Structure 1
Amino acid sequence: MELRIMRYFVAVAEAGSVSEAARRVHVTQPALSRQLRAWERELRLTLFDRRDGRLELSAAGREFLPVVRDVLQRADAARAAAESLAAGRLVNLAIAASPTTLTDVIAPFLATFGPDDPMPTVQEAGGQAALDRLERGADLAVITQRPPDSWSSRTLAVLPLWAYVPPEHPWTARDSVSLDELAEQPLVVLDPTFGPRRLLDQALADRRLAPAELVECGNAQVAQALTAAGRGVAVVSDDPRFDLHPLRINRPGHDDLSITLHAVWNPAHHAAVALSDVADRLRAFCHARYPQS
């Protein structure tokens, strides 16, 4: 079933005559009539009633017309997508990142997209799982660990790991807290599958510190909610909620505890140049949203 014949059928249905349809699709009238009759025989359908030199859609033709139009529309969309792919443009953009990164970074970034940007989708996956998604069809991953050299990457931002306290806490007059002080407090932390938790654990181990008490949870917003409820100091990397006060975490002899975000993509991707441009835009967005990054 050829798309060309389908277009002829639609042209005749819309024009109401073979001669006008032939003019529109740039073929001769006899050739158009011959091909339509052959197509009707192939389909074993009478698509037109022929009366007084004019063609009118038969009952079957009227029901078949929207089906053919849908096929042609899908074919045109497929052709446009193929042309975009061949030109190295992105039609769709699948981004894999952790839930916190999706909420605080990716979603606000996608809100800046315009009609000429690719259609974005997101996949919740952090760390190695996000890199695995690149192998299975994601276009871009945003991760906190150093990317393997085999991938193309861009450093997006260096973001603090925050210690959050409620408004009535004595530390609200400060903008930072030492790791030693933090270890003396009950801490609300994410489970060890999260990068911020692993970073905190390593920093405490380097100082040979053991927290007084740990409350574990699997969601950064829930961690802040527990802090707002007075259950301890939340140590997370996401943006503040519940009117909590953020404190940077000092390490003697080192920089403050921080998370580095990297955008990663396959250098062999058909739209690698376009992905590089997206990563540059995302980096500029991060620097504007987090000026000290």
Structure 2
Amino acid sequence: MNFRRIECFLAVVDAGTVTAAAEQLHVAQPALSRQLKTLERELKLTLFEPQGSRLSLTSAGRALVAPARRLMAEARSFDGAASTLRTGSVEELVAATTSASLRSFLAPFIATTGPDDPRITTREVGHFEMTEALRHGCDLAVSPAAPDGSLATAPLGQVPIKAFVAAGHEWARSGVAALPLSAFEGSTAIIPTRHSASRYVLDDALSRAGITFPHVTECDDGQTILALAAAGRGVGFSTDRPRYGAHPILVLDGQGGDGRPLALPLHVAWLPGHFAEETIAAFAVRIRAFLLDNGITVAE
């Protein structure tokens, strides 16, 4: 089995057209088409069929996508392990993460790494897609979702879920820094969708407190939630750091003002036995310290 042909197959799956896939792989379109035809002859299967200007997977092609991704992930892991044994160091790590985590702290952390550290690249995935990402080529995942029991994990701390209001709001003018969740009852709320792990933390706290919001706007992007709050469209709830002049308020779990901050637990996860397991675990310790030093996480 030729791994290059498997790579070409997956590139067309992801790009949708041979032209786009060829650009991504930096090869000529006719050469890529030949690789696909050769793969189909070797497998004695038709993998694609034309559908307008795009290629659509046949039922056989669809069935082979997941095994192909696993195969390429294993090949990459094999190459990485061989390189580590040969050189005595890990050259590169691919981290799966959400866009919010990438913006808030992972990219700033990567900026602090030095020439002797592995090169960290990232792949943006959804909150609940981390395990699949690890099985499809990522070396580690920085995740707010509960860890899969089959994974090795290290805790990074708790990221507070803050409420954000416009600069002209009375709480902002008074410099309010923290409020119990009950204080937001009756507010127009701008909250993450259920694609976000923070939504489940917020929903659970609201349910326990018996609190409802009369009007709710759902949004997948934390920065947009902050922008809407800054524009006075409601109280935004997000783990993102303050922007656009929105005033942040720590949300305390419970009815009184002495509850713990409502927070989202973060973890680093990786597949047990990974060739760079020690390096990943060491990076987890450094990321945890970076988060604490920069006030991104709260004390547990």
Paired position in structure 2 for 1:75: none
- SS in structure 2 at match of 1:131: helix
Give, as a single letter, the amino acid of the residue that structure 1 aligns with 2:260.
D
The CA deviation at 1:103 is 0.5
Structure 1 vs Structure 2: percent identity of aligned residues? 32
Q: Counterparts of 2:285 and 2:89 in 1: how far apart (Å)?
A: 16
* CA offsets 1:208-265 (integer angstroms, 9 cap, x no match): 2210211111210011111111100110001110122111112226522101111111
Shift of the 190–251 alpha-carbon distance from structure 1 to 2, 3 Å rule, reads: same
Instruction: Note the 1:5-84 alignment, pairs <5 A.
Output: 82-84=82-84
Instruction: Note the 1:1-293 alignment, pairs <5 A.
Output: 82-86=82-86, 89-172=89-172, 173-252=175-254, 254-290=259-295, 292-293=298-299
The CA deviation at 1:88 is 6.0
- SS in structure 1 at match of 2:240: coil
Aligned positions, number: 216
The CA deviation at 1:86 is 4.8
Give, as a single letter, the amino acid of the residue that structure 2 aligns with 1:243.
G
Q: Counterparts of 1:83 and 1:168 in 2: how far apart (Å)?
A: 57
- 1:88–1:273 Cα contact (<8 Å) kept: no
Shift of the 292–251 alpha-carbon distance from structure 1 to 2, 3 Å rule, reads: closer
Give, as a single letter, the amino acid of the residue that structure 2 aligns with 1:260.
P
Structure 1 residues without counterparts, runs of 5 or longer: 1-78
Name the Cα RMSD after superposition.
2.2
- SS in structure 2 at match of 1:128: coil
Larger radius of gyration, structure 1 or 2? 1
Q: Comparing 168-177 with 87-96, which one deviates more in the overlay?
A: 87-96
Shift of the 80–243 alpha-carbon distance from structure 1 to 2, 3 Å rule, reads: closer
Give, as a single letter, the amino acid of the residue that structure 1 aligns with 2:291.
C
What TM-score, normalized to structure 2? 0.67
Give, as a single letter, the amino acid of the residue that structure 2 aligns with 1:155.
P
* CA offsets 1:153-196 (integer angstroms, 9 cap, x no match): 11112121000111111112211122122121111111111111
Shift of the 88–139 alpha-carbon distance from structure 1 to 2, 3 Å rule, reads: farther
Q: Counterparts of 1:284 and 1:91 in 2: how far apart (Å)?
A: 23
Structure 2 residues without counterparts, runs of 5 or longer: 1-78
- SS in structure 2 at match of 1:239: coil
- 1:85–1:271 Cα contact (<8 Å) kept: no
Shift of the 85–212 alpha-carbon distance from structure 1 to 2, 3 Å rule, reads: farther
The CA deviation at 1:144 is 1.4
Shift of the 86–231 alpha-carbon distance from structure 1 to 2, 3 Å rule, reads: same
Q: Counterparts of 2:134 and 2:85 in 1: how far apart (Å)?
A: 18
- SS in structure 2 at match of 1:104: helix
- SS in structure 2 at match of 1:157: strand
- 2:80–2:275 Cα contact (<8 Å) kept: no
Q: Counterparts of 1:157 and 1:87 in 2: how far apart (Å)?
A: 33
Segments of 4+ moved more than 4 angstroms: 85-88
